[in-house]
Amino acid sequence: MTRNNYAPYITIAREEWANKSDELMEHLIKDLDKLHGLNEPLTKEEVTQIYVPLSRLLNLFVTAAQELHATTNTFLGRKVTKVPYIIGIAGSVAVGKSTTARVLQWLLAAFPNHPRVALVTTDGFLYPNRVLEQRGIMNRKGFPESYDIRRLVQFLANLKSGKEKVAAPLYSHLEYDVLANEMQWVESPDIVIVEGVNVLQVRPRPLGSPEPSIFVSDFFDFSIFVDAEDKDLEQWYIERFKSLRTTAFANPESYFHRYAHLTDAESEEIARKIWNEINKPNLVQNILPTRFRASLILEKGNHHFVQSLKLRKT
């Protein structure tokens, strides 16, 4: 990936960003094992130097939004329904989006003016496997056409309309499918974090359509793209696949149980094949082009830690 200094962004080195850390938040840094994903290292230094400053910046943005809401109420002379501040997190498979989302949820919930922080992944908005099979796109799971975007947009519209209780579908990585009768209820949130490979993607308006296109990102107040070099992403994916043999794949009920007894060489061969035939094309065609639509880009080095950031000028 070419890292140009695009004019809309301020590029910030890790050391400069780390100076913005907040000592008052550092007491929260414990139980890190509960937050990081498989083969995604997470250290006290990474949380202190990267995520604590980011949570403080987001706290300032959320506070400003809350103050604007109060100003609107004063101007209108009536109480307008509170709406949540929505943060989108995008990036490739294996880049560490889920870890970023969990850490931010944990840190943001510590601020007294927005303690209710919900985390929703877009996996639940995938079409069920039976639909993907009917459409002949089971091998394109994760591509834009595999998501029920209309349902995801409606979910976000309900949140932004101020509905107190909104349901999101749930996905099982064990079953590799959407759970038909289970939902995640998001109730009166202050902040909602929406994480997924597709959250910054746009759909072209059909030719001749009188309706304007509505994108998932239209509902975001702030968005983050977690970035890394292609070669590192591929290696991280392969390492994760190999680790899953003794964790998730070992479960006899797992959709991928057939991979549990593969050798290292066999695992690497299959993982590389999946990467090159599915994940890399999706990255190049659909995910990477959305990078510069984000409010903030976290740029990771080959050690899986953030080495620099690009913050959009406002």
pLDDT digits (tens, 9 = 90+) for 101-137: 999 999 999 999 999 999 999 999 999 999 999 999 9
Model's pTM, two decimal places?
A: 0.92
* For residue 300, pLDDT beyond 70: yes
CB-neighbour burial class of residue 208 (10 A; exposed 0-12, middle 13-18, buried 19+): exposed
Considering only the top CATH level, what class is 81-300? alpha beta
What pLDDT band is residue 78 in, cutting at 50, 70 and 90? confident
Taking only the tens place, the pLDDT of each residue in 152-199 is 999 999 999 999 999 999 999 999 999 998 999 999 999 999 999 989
pLDDT at 42: 85
Sheet holding 9-13, edge to edge: 9-13, 306-312, 296-300, 222-227, 85-91, 191-195, 117-121
pLDDT at 26: 59
Q: What percent of the chain has pLDDT over 90?
A: 79
| Cβ-based neighbours of 81, under 8 Å, separated by 6 or more | 161, 162
Taking only the tens place, the pLDDT of each residue in 275-289 is 999 999 999 999 999
Taking only the tens place, the pLDDT of each residue in 20-76 is 877 666 556 666 666 666 566 788 889 999 999 999 999 999 999 999 999 998 999
pLDDT at 28: 62
pLDDT at 287: 96
